[in-house]
Amino acid sequence: MIRIDFNRLRFLVIDDNAHMRRILRTLLHGFGTREVYEAEDGAGGLEAFTHYMPDIVITDWAMPIFDGLELTQMIRQPGANGNPYVPIIMLTGHSEKKRIISARDAGVTEFLAKPISAKSLYQRILNVVANPRPFIKTKSYFGPDRRRSTNHNHIGPERRKGGKAETIRQEALLEKVKVEG
């Protein structure tokens, strides 16, 4: 397993449940993170995002004021904030396929169903740090490439159709953190 030096990453944890925020903070500190900022709702999360400029956002789906999906859509608005490319890990107790698709279509980078484990959280963070997906910009979508497969010759019904899409390659957060393999 690849090990990440977490002490140079800033995290923002947004969840209306104080106990869940404490669990996430404890796990992140256990991984070696020094900077973990918190918010208890979407509005506070957006304010904290703008103020702290985190490297990774971990947000719950269901929260007051506006939920994690709405927060993701606000963060992903190009030009609306300093980093619309920030990796966003969505947490939820509801992992039905339609919710996963909705999160993906809103621009969520990774999805994690509750209850979470230290291993699953570490794996999602490793994915966004070591293997950042390129961003896609079309008329109706801006966010991480929703396709995880790199088979560009796919011809089936799931093949993307429509207008042009601009692909924006992402710098790996590896530039910021030391990775030991």
Q: How far apart are the C-alpha atoms of 125 and 27, rounded to whole Å?
A: 12
Across residues 106-122, what is the average pLDDT?
94
Domain 3-146+155-180 CATH superfamily: Response regulator (3.40.50.2300)
Structural domain spans, the chain: 3-146+155-180
Across residues 64-76, what is the average pLDDT?
93
pTM of the full structure: 0.85
Task: Name, in order, each residue with C-beta under 8 angstroms of 62's C-beta and a sequence gap of 6 or more.
Answer: 16, 68, 92, 93, 94
Q: Residue 4: its pLDDT value, please?
A: 78
User: Residues of the chain with pLDDT > 70: what percent?
Assistant: 80
Is residue 118 predicted with pLDDT exceeding 90?
yes
Strands 110-113 and 135-137: unpaired
Nearest of 126, 88, 35 to residue 25 by alpha carbon? 35
The whole-chain average pLDDT of the chain stands at: 85
